[in-house]
Amino acid sequence: MDRIYEKTMLFDFYGDLLTEHQRSVYRDAVYHDLSLGEIAEERGITRQGVHDMIRRCDKILQGYENKLHLVERFSKARKTIGEIERLTVKAEKDIDRQECLRDVRRLCHELLNEL
Residue type, 12: D
Listed by start position, the domains of the chain span 3-68, 72-114
Q: What is the pLDDT of residue 19?
A: 97
pLDDT (tens digit, 0 to 9) for every residue of the chain, 115 residues total? 588 899 999 999 999 999 999 999 999 999 999 999 999 999 999 999 999 999 999 999 999 999 999 999 999 888 888 888 877 777 767 666 777 777 888 888 888 777 6
pTM for this model (two decimals): 0.78
**Fold of the domain spanning 3-68:** Arc Repressor Mutant, subunit A (1.10.10)
Residue 30: CB partners within 8 Å, gap ≥ 6?
Answer: 4, 7, 8, 11
Q: How far apart are CA 29 and CA 20, in angstroms?
A: 14
What's the one-letter identity of residue 31? Y
Q: What is the pLDDT of residue 1?
A: 54
